[in-house]
Amino acid sequence: MLQGATPPADRGRVVAVIIFVLGLGVLLPWNFFITATQYFNKRLAVPNVTSNGTHATKDYNYDSWMALLSQLPLLLFTLLNSFLYQWVRERLRVAVSFTAIFVLFSLTATLVHVPMHSDAFFSITMATIWFISSGAVLQGSLFGVVGLFPPAYSSLFMAGQGLAGMFAAVAMLFSILSNADKRSAALGYFITPCVATLGALMCYLLLPHLEFARFHMNRSPSDEEKQQQLLCSKDRDVLEDAEVPEVTTQTPPRSSVLAVFKKIWLMALCVTSVFAVTLSVFPAITVRVQTVYEDNAAWVRVFTCVCCFIVFNAMDFAGRLAPSFVQWPSKDSKLFPGAIVSRLVFVPLLMLCNIEDSRLVVLFSHDLVFVVIMASFSFSNGYLATLCMAYAPQLVKSNDCEMAGSLMSFFLVLGLALGASLSFLLGTLV
């Protein structure tokens, strides 16, 4: 029998845990910046002394600029990664990306205690976001690696990404509720992703040393294809005596980028649509929603963190986990793209919530209504995006899975960039 035809077991689900942790590590940087919106807006709101001696507060529009400047380099470098993987080893790409993220977050933590002019602080923060987001090479590389594993591992990777947001939101809540002064709380908040990034890097370096991971990462044709070659032979006795290299060394050539895209274009368009809708209103619009209980100072203090970020990330995480239990609609169903398009309804629903000084009519003023809309909005985001990423590798040959994963990563980021651009326009409407 062909050696290695039967995959080894994932003992103790160690590889599954590592894939989950890697998903967590990929989106930690963006989520820590997006969840810290209150910290950055308050620091940028400090009046600056102008040339004539007066004090002026400048509107930096941090939320929209943060979203846009984090997605543009992601888009560029994710596209680059679709070709880069052929020339630069995946282990080098991932290790360098994790190291760069650690260094840049260390810089952000250091700036907490450095007094700066608002213009300089805004510029450095935006530059940091830009270069951290250039780590899209990391996301694209890991999507490609995960695409080599069974579909359930893609769901785990996406679930880890969902937990990254929850991780950041809970960290911010503890920062708000802590008795420490604001600067010390912010310092602790930004040190957290530094530690988590190092942990994710250690997990990645451990992965190739596990038998289950080696089997999937080093295979060429899939085991099913190998077995099919054996079963199709008429002379079973000859096959049993045949040397293994005659079967295993015949690796079919990888398809071109265009050929792979033709097979996954619908899933690519779907994942782009999912994230374009999400980023068009989150967080630029959702952070502007106010509680109706303005007399409750404690609730006002945590309302945005709880009802915007924690609700979004908790339900997004649940949505990313759900495909591990049920995958509906199927990848061939016409209902699938229909479900993607239906998410457009969340844009007007969120814009009509209780936004202070809104130009639109406020139809949904109560906190509970906002929470219900946010929960549905975020669950559908996590669920449908995970289905897209899990379905795409199933549409191509096993040796094209890495390319399919990289392309899907690019179109995911394209959706984020389109959504971030739309947030400027929607922001002017409210």
pLDDT, position 238:
42
pLDDT, position 405:
81
List of residues 6+ apart from 287 with CB closer than 8 A = 37, 63, 304, 308
List of residues 6+ apart from 175 with CB closer than 8 A = 185, 186, 188, 189
Local structure of 289: helix, strand or coil: strand
Q: Where are the alpha helices (H) located in 112-222, listed in sequence order?
A: 118-133, 136-146, 151-177, 182-206, 211-218
pLDDT, position 304:
93
pLDDT, position 226:
47
For residues 165 and 401, what is the distance between their CA atoms, to the nearest angstrom? 27
pLDDT, position 131:
82
Ranges of the chain whose pLDDT falls below 70: 1-5, 48-57, 78-86, 88, 134-136, 219-252
List of residues 6+ apart from 375 with CB closer than 8 A = 311, 315
The residue ranges of every structural domain in the chain are 11-49+58-218+257-429
Q: Please give the helix or strand (H or E) that residue 150 lies within, else none.
A: none
For residues 172 and 98, what is the distance between their CA atoms, to the nearest angstrom? 22
Virtual CA dihedral for 98, 103, 109, 111, nearest 10 degrees? -140
What angle is formed at CA 318 by the lines to CA 134 and CA 282, rounded to 5 degrees? Answer: 50
pLDDT, position 369:
97
Provide φ and ψ at 374, rounded to 5°.
-60, -40
pLDDT digits (tens, 9 = 90+) for 146-191: 878 888 888 788 778 778 888 889 988 988 888 777 788 888 888 8
Domain 11-49+58-218+257-429: which CATH number of 1.10.3210.10, 3.40.50.720, 3.30.60.50, 1.20.1250.20 = 1.20.1250.20
Rounded to whole angstroms, the maximal C-alpha distance in the chain is 94
pLDDT, position 288:
93
Q: Please give the helix or strand (H or E) that residue 310 lies within, else none.
A: none
3-state secondary structure 209-257: HCHHHHHHHHCCCCHHHHHHHHHCCCCHHHHHHCCCHHHHCCCCCCCCH
For residues 190 and 156, what is the distance between their CA atoms, to the nearest angstrom? 25
DSSP string, 65-90: HHHHHHHHHHHHHHHHHHHHTTTS-H
